[in-house]
Amino acid sequence: MQNIYILGIESSCDDTSASILCNNHMLSNVIANQAVHTEFGGVVPELASRAHQQNIIPVIDTALKKAGINKKELNAIAFTRGPGLLGSLLVGTSFAKAFSLGLEIPIVEIDHMQGHILSHFIQNEEGNKLIPEFPFLCLTVSGGHTQIVLIRDYFEMEVIGQTIDDAAGEAFDKIAKIMSLPYPGGPFVDKFAKEGNPLAFTFPKPSIQGLDFSFSGLKTSFLYFLRDRLKEDADFIEKHKADLCASIQYSIISVLMDKLTKAVKKTGIKQVAIAGGVSANSGLRNAILKMQENSGWTVFIPEFQFTTDNAAMIAIAGYFKYQRGEFAGQSAIPYSRGASKQKK
């Protein structure tokens, strides 16, 4: 069988990433994080697109060098078309188009959220990694999305539950901001939570019907709780940082796990994956592993490098589309929102 080399490009938010895959094996995955946003406590779209513009060529060049291949060996270029920040997506999309014209190879457009899910299909070097079989469920939790997706085939995905307000990662980040932790706050909450008691403080659970999620109430009750405590003790956050992080993390994970359990019961599907930035969270990883031990689920937990945004997930999705001959035209333009694109 002839080897297929795919270049994946991811530029939907604030990470510029390029990855080379040989079939379903990863040869390189280079990610340039943008430090420029830290002082603003969030991503500044205008600065993000400028940083992508600066990073994209060196990142792709490094990905090719690390993979040890020449650009002329590439079979196709896969790029994130959406959802994400338009100015950021335009950089990756335009670069992919220009590069494909120069190399005379096709381009493949990828939905970012489908990429997160399909990262589970990147095989390890030994070729012995357990890969999900269809159908399976995936809890896709990132800074912009929180979804439960039923995956029937590589590109046959149905969103069966989603957030009606904030995403889980957004909830982590906003809560961290309230505690004056750096941006993005999710990894800091996770770090401090390891030293704390998850039952030290309780926060009201949102009561949303069905498989949908809501996190804005949790964030507000955390804010009011702290406002009251800070009136009595100005050092409350500093003194109780670990317990606060552990308790709020526990609350977020409980919401996620309750809905995921409901989805398993409703669909009868016990193969369950997690994906997206929040799937790096140690509490969530432990909670889903427990379901494997206690409830007979077969769970799929991504390697850390495939949790937050990366181009390897775009390249693997590109590999599957390449095999189907599904190529994009030069007129393909980015989209900022795209839950409907999940259904194909």
Interface with ligand KG4 (CB under 6 A):
13, 142-144, 169, 172-173, 184-187, 190, 276-278, 280-281, 308-309
Q: How far is CA 239 from CA 62, 76, 91, 230, in A?
A: 44, 54, 44, 11
Closer of 190 and 309 to Zn ion (Cβ): 309
Output the smallest distance, CB 336 to ligand KG4, in A: 13
Chosen from Zn ion, ligand KG4, none, partner binding at 169 (C-beta under 5 to 8 Å by type): ligand KG4
Closer of 71 and 177 to ligand KG4 (Cβ): 177
Output the smallest distance, CB 102 to ligand KG4, in A: 29
How buried is residue 262: exposed, middle or buried, by Cβ count under 10 Å (0-12/13-18/19+)? middle
Output the smallest distance, CB 278 to ligand KG4, in A: 4
Closer of 82 and 198 to Zn ion (Cβ): 82
Output the smallest distance, CB 173 to ligand KG4, in A: 5
- The CA distance from 33 to 184, in Å, is 12
Chosen from Zn ion, ligand KG4, none, partner binding at 109 (C-beta under 5 to 8 Å by type): none
Site for Zn ion in 305-324 (CB under 5 A): 309
Closer of 132 and 186 to ligand KG4 (Cβ): 186
Number of residues that bind Zn ion (CB under 5 A): 2
Closest residue to Zn ion, based on beta-carbon distance: 142
- The CA distance from 289 to 15, in Å, is 29
Closer of 69 and 274 to ligand KG4 (Cβ): 274
3-state secondary structure 138-168: EEEECCCCEEEEEEEECCEEEEEEEECCCCH
Contacts of 102 (CB under 8 A, 6+ apart): none
**In contact, 131 and 265? CB cutoff 8 Å:** no
Site for Zn ion in 110-169 (CB under 5 A): 142
Residues that bind Zn ion (CB under 5 A): 142, 309
